[in-house]
Amino acid sequence: MEGAKSYAWRRALIWVLIFLKVEGYFVDITYVEDAVAKGAVCLDGSPPAYHLSPGFGSGVNNWLVQIEGGGWCNNVTTCLARKVTRLGSSKQMVKQLAFSGILSNTPPFNPDFYNWNKVKVRYCDGSSFTGDVERVDPVTNLHYRGARVWLAIMEDLLARGMDKAENALLSGCSAGGLTSLLHCDNFRALLPTGANVKCLSDAGYFINVKDITGTAHIAAFFDDVVTTHGSAKNLPSFCTSRMAPGLCLFPQYLVQQIQTPLFILNAAYDSWQIKNILAPGVADPHGTWHDCKLDIKQCSSSQLQIMQGFRTEFLDVLAELGSSSSRGMFINSCYAHCQSEMQETWLASDSPMLQNTTIGKAVGDWFYGRSAFQKIDCPYPCDSTCHNRIFEDYSAA
């Protein structure tokens, strides 16, 4: 019996080691303690944080800064709820984080960035690093300081060697992908003049579209985010001078003016946008879209028709990106959200592909100028390489 247990234990350990070798490795957290004195803090007043895996070999002066995603809070109630989680407090963050995909340190799984300095910036402000309200309500103790957090973390990284960067990529997933667009030119301005600096937005191209009831739900939500966090003064002035500040969280109103080279990685049927922008719960009180949002294969023909309309609107506003070769694009027809951080979708034997090119290769070729990449997939369900998300049905628990 003991022998069987020992064998089972060893077998489990072997599988864990294989997972870590192939899928990722763990990186310790770093708290930016001196940021607190500057008021650059998470929602609960705790210090901001990141995870840094040092570069080595030829990548010692190259920097990949990946911004964590996690939505936004748009009022006191939602920010209070967020404040007691890892998305509002560094006290709630795990001490180690697994790096994989674009953060992998293994050449076969990340050939262009494996030996770079790789940073995962933790997200704890709820505003995509745009907020800055001086006053702190003593009742809620909420700190809206995202813009200060951004600057404090950048200053810390510059002091750790990023000021000598030769190549740098600012990237992010979801709300972090939006951050990489909002701060793209600012990031470029912080680095040496001769450095090769570019930005990648993964699942961050949120579009201003009405929900299934014809209500401008996401526009109202973003307006509340900007108002709550005092973000207007930290959003691009070329946008806020022309339209309501809340609209300036939508990439479609920003990308034309961004000077730094960009790469947009997005699913045309982005699962977060389908669930929260197109068919949010408030627009579907009877749960007609419930099964469809969990699994695209459960969508009815009429629901798929509406989703095809969403794709059309997405591609229309994506045209604002322009056709410059400095702009990269990988738009697949998957039901997915964030494809750069997981090895299986970034670069693996069965990864999503467009014209026989994986996401990892497309981004690498674009960054180093080996070849331009601007590809848009055919409509669902044509792409057999997709890793379509299937979500758990927590309502049945």
Catalytic residues: 174, 270, 337
Alpha-carbon torsion 250, 252, 257, 260, what sign? positive
* Cα gap 54→35, rounded to integer Å: 22
DSSP string, 308-328: HHHHHHHHHHHGGG-S-TT-E
Residues 6+ apart with CB under 8 A from 122: 29, 48, 49, 50, 51, 68, 86, 90, 93
DSSP string, 15-57: HHHHHHHHH-EEEEEEE-GGGGGGT---TTSPPPEEEEE---G
Q: For the chain, give percent helix, strand, coil, nearest 5.
A: 40, 15, 45
Q: Are 222 and 249 in contact (CB under 8 A)?
A: yes
| Helices (runs of H) and strands (runs of E) counted in the chain | 12, 12
Amino acid at 190: L
Q: Are 225 and 180 in contact (CB under 8 A)?
A: no
* Cα gap 80→337, rounded to integer Å: 26
Residues 6+ apart with CB under 8 A from 10: none
- The b-or-e profile of 7-43 (16+ CB within 10 A means b, else e) is eeeeeeeeeeeeeeeebbbebebbbbeebbeeebbbb
